[in-house]
Structure 1
Amino acid sequence: MATDSNPSATPTTVEAASLRIFAGADSFGCKLKDALITHLRSLPGVEIVDLGIDAYYTIAEQVGQRVSSDSSVSTETRGLLACGTGTGVSIFANKLPRVYATTCTSVADAVNTRSINNCNVLCVSGMSTSPEDALEILDAWLKTPFKSPCPASGDQPWPTDIQSFLENSTAEMAQIPKPDSSSSNCAICCLRKELVFQPVEIMPGAEMKIVRESPTSAVVKFKAGSLEPAHHHTFGHDVLVMKGRKKVWNLDKNESYELGEGDYLFTPAGDKHRVNYFEDTEFFIRWDGDWDIFLDESLETAADAIKLELEGSK
């Protein structure tokens, strides 16, 4: 790679088989991505892997995973992403460890982020950046080494202490989260640990914590073997199972659904439904309005109905 920090200079030819770039875009960035790939394929020593077009979060994850998992010594792996603004793909790619994705709208952005952040995924805007400008941004990003002089340093070499800080900062970022850590610093996980559940008196074996009201969101837990007798709500509700396994009968539609970890179900307002829990189960639920519940049968009636169904299936 070239060490010349002048953004207007012609990029130095990359040595053969020394750089592999995974590229992708959403529908708003596909034309810009294709233009940049055409340019990259004209450069000796640059291998391009075009992952095509998908939703911005999906394609960003695909590119990010490949950059994150790179363990090659002889070939450097980077990524190129384009979406409408260049921001969405950057956010999602950066969820992967060892991925340093930056949205660049100018040559100075590209030089700064390579020098300061060791950026290995370039994100560009298909809606606001012309192909001509994007080519200049790409060339500057390709030829600028980490810790080189850049606009942020006044185009002067970084002092030794700053160079040391920059190098340590990227190494530290690669440890978030630490692979050997048994705990998580994830804000959502920490919030989950602080939840205080309250028993649901009308449903034995159930505990619930409401986290938002009207529309209402809650986290609910049921012990294995618990039953929810047939009931209905004023509002429709979404359910996402986080762990465990259960079966839901929609009595109005004469349908049933077995749900496990990661499964989703929407029950319309007013539909009577019965639930049986096969394992300790936890799920997230959201009502379109205030939480309420109206029983349509007793616990004993629900147990008898489930027993009859099980006997009939033998």
Structure 2
Amino acid sequence: MNKDVIGVAGDHAGYEFKEQIKAYLEQKGFSVKDFGACQYDASDDYPVFASDMASAIAKGEYSRGVLFCGTGIGASIAANRHKGVRAALCFTPEMATLSRKHNNSNVVVLGARTLSVDSAKEILDAWLEGDFEGGRHQKRVELLDNLS
């Protein structure tokens, strides 16, 4: 597993947002694996990009990722279909922190049409800084990971 690399993926609605956040992650010293879209194309589909990234996380190739689509809803649904992926759609830094502390989220999902880039950076920072508390939450994460 490459813990030093963060995966990113987004569709046409999240493309510009993804590019800005990708640059922000690189400025913070992270390496980034871009699962697409690699250019703006209004006919592309979020399930493809979200699934490609989530599949790599589920296989253990990467430990975490950031997804983008218009609202974040579709990308969340697509990512969470992969066993072992715990994608959290977050609208506030507090949600991001709690998704790490209580759910051990390994993917944060950001809506390009519902957030500003500055808000997304704050949410991302909170998510990156958050640590899983374990304890009573461990059992719940194991239950999530073992749902069929």
TM (norm. structure 1) is 0.43
Between structures 1 and 2, the one with greater strand share: 1
Q: Where in structure 2 are the equivalents of 1:1-314 lying within 5 Å?
A: 18-44=3-29, 46-53=30-37, 54-70=44-60, 77-147=63-133, 163-177=134-148
Residue pair 1:105, 1:124 contacting (<8 A) in 2 also: yes
Q: Tell me the secondary structure at the aligned position of residue 131 of structure 2.
A: coil
Deviations 1:186-242 (A, max 9, x none): xxxxxxxxxxxxxxxxxxxxxxxxxxxxxxxxxxxxxxxxxxxxxxxxxxxxxxxxx
| Identical amino acids, percent of aligned pairs | 29
> 1:37-56, CA deviations, whole angstroms, 9 ceiling, x for partnerless residues?
00111123x22101111411
Distance (Å, rounded) in 2 between the aligned partners of 1:114 and 1:131: 21
- Residue 165 of structure 1: CA displacement? 2.3
**Is the CA contact (8 Å cut-off) linking 1:24 and 1:51 kept in structure 2?**
yes
How many residues are paired up?
A: 141
SS of alignment partner, residue 32 of structure 2: strand
Task: Report how far residue 58 of structure 1 moved.
Answer: 1.0
Structure 2 unaligned blocks of 5 or more = 38-43
8 Å CA contact retained: 1:111, 1:141: yes
- SS of 1:140's partner is helix
* 1:29 counterpart SS class: helix
The alpha-carbon distance between structure 1 residues 86 and 169, as it changes in their structure 2 partners (threshold 3 A), is same
Which of structures 1 and 2 has the bigger CA Rg?
Answer: 1
What CA deviation, in whole Å up to 9, does each residue of 1:262-283 have, x standing for no partner?
xxxxxxxxxxxxxxxxxxxxxx
Q: TM-score, normalised by structure 2?
A: 0.89
Q: C-alpha displacement at 1:22, in angstroms?
A: 1.1
Instruction: State the distance in 1 between where 2:126 and 2:3 align.
Output: 17
Aligned-partner Cα distance in 1 for 2:47–2:8: 14
CA RMSD in angstroms comes to 1.5
- Alpha-carbon distance in structure 2 between the residues aligned to 1:129 and 1:80: 14
